[in-house]
Amino acid sequence: MNKVNKSRIRLLTVEWKNNSLVLIDQTKLPAKLTYVRCRSYIDVADAIKKLVVRGAPAIGVTAAFGLALAAIKSKTTNLKIFFQELTKAYEILRSTRPTAINLQWALDRIMQKITNLNDIALIKKVILDEAILMANEDIATNKSMGIKGAYLFSDGDTIMTHCNAGSLATVGYGTALGVIRAVKESGKKISVIATETRPVMQGSRLTAFELKHENIDVNLIPDTAVGHIMARGIVKHVVVGADRILRTGHVFNKIGTYQLAVLAKTHNIPFYVVAPSSTFDLKNNPNDIVIEERSKDEVIRIGKKILAPKNIGVINPAFDMTPPHLITKIITEKGIVSPPYTKSIKKLIK
């Protein structure tokens, strides 16, 4: 994995270039806008694990390109060995992060596309074409969700968001922030309240950076200020993304989403989730979903500084589950669904 320094400003999170995958290094934002070049699927798996790239749709498309790299870089002429190599790459990429379903969805979509093919050169082309198609579809899907969701908001609204569900969490445009962008593009004046999103700080490092970059009015608050700000009547709507949505409408998203939803309900503030159909998991039940548990270092350190006793026990779940009774609407590229979700999701997602 090589570091590529570029002064040119652009926010294309995932880009296929010269037979390699170029990713914005999100671990370095907002201090530095630098890029990481992945030349193998192992580089890609490493980048996903280290949060160089993160956000459900972005890691899905990145994993798809990872599989493309595994195929392109293979030297074998034996079809059986080729498929064994691809299966190994599939498993390694799939195991990088467990909660966002987009990762598995993207890898499965590619594998399905090639199951009946037996020409290695053709398979390599099909995999890369499919990954490129997914990257293009991602931007189109986000724009479509933006247009569909924008009408829910009015001129002068203040919108709270959590984590980063923007350009940086997708190939481009964003899900929750895509809707916010579309509201602005429709001519309405809005302002955003972004939560810091401890412990990885996707809100302060990424959402605040992205919205400033786009000239969208944004104020940052500590996660602990959510209840206070809502009680003061400042927030008109809450908009978040999702890593997985079940057929019952249970939403898995960045840790802290659940407490925002509870507080929004208490203060009668509409709570919207924005996600593409690739984020829906119609098979599993709430207890089947693995919530990623991350390193204790994320909690006890800020940078190099240790802020808690070294031997302290730490619980560091990266995601939580918001139950459907707290969610006002779910916005997708196929349309907007309302409760009861078991019925509306079944109708929308076939």
In angstroms and rounded to an integer, the radius of gyration of the C-alpha atoms of the chain is: 20
Instruction: Report d(CA 152, CA 63) in Å as an integer.
Output: 33
202 binds ligand MRU per the rule CB under 6 A:
yes
Structure tokens at 204: 């302060």
175 binds ligand MRU per the rule CB under 6 A:
yes
- Here's the x/- map for ligand MRU, 13-32, by CB under 6 A: it reads as --------------------
Beta strand 271-274 pairing with 329-332: parallel
Closest-approach residue to ligand MRU (CB): 241
* 1 vs 100 by CB, closer to ligand MRU: 100
Structure tokens at 89: 């790459």
* 71 vs 159 by CB, closer to ligand MRU: 159
Size of the site for ligand MRU (CB under 6 A): 17
Q: What Å distances lie between residue 289 and 98, 139, 316, 319, CA to CA? A: 8, 27, 16, 11
Q: Which stretch binds ligand MRU (CB under 6 A): 6-14, 30-38, 239-247, 337-345?
A: 239-247
- HEC-encoded secondary structure of 244-298: EEECCCCEEEECCHHHHHHHHHHCCCCEEEECCHHHEECCCCHHHCCCCECCCHH
Helix (H) or strand (E) holding 102: helix 101-114
From 25, 85, 130, 243, residue interacting with ligand MRU (rule: CB under 6 A): 243
From 181, 237, 250, 254, residue interacting with ligand MRU (rule: CB under 6 A): 254
124 binds ligand MRU per the rule CB under 6 A:
no
Instruction: Report d(CA 330, CA 315) in Å as an integer.
Output: 30
* 66 vs 85 by CB, closer to ligand MRU: 66
The minimum distance between CB 318 and ligand MRU, in angstroms, equals 5
* 175 vs 204 by CB, closer to ligand MRU: 175
From 152, 193, 201, 242, residue interacting with ligand MRU (rule: CB under 6 A): 242
Site for ligand MRU in 316-335 (CB under 6 A): 318
* Catalytically active residues, by annotation: 243
Task: Report the candidate in 105, 113, 32, 31 with the shortest Cα–Cα distance to residue 62.
Answer: 105
The minimum distance between CB 114 and ligand MRU, in angstroms, equals 27
Task: Report the candidate in 248, 209, 169, 253 with the shortest Cα–Cα distance to residue 238.
Answer: 253
CA dihedral 11, 91, 74, 84 (to 10 degrees): -160
The minimum distance between CB 239 and ligand MRU, in angstroms, equals 11
Binding stretches for ligand MRU (CB under 6 A) = 54-57, 100, 163, 165, 169-170, 175, 202, 241-243, 253-254, 318
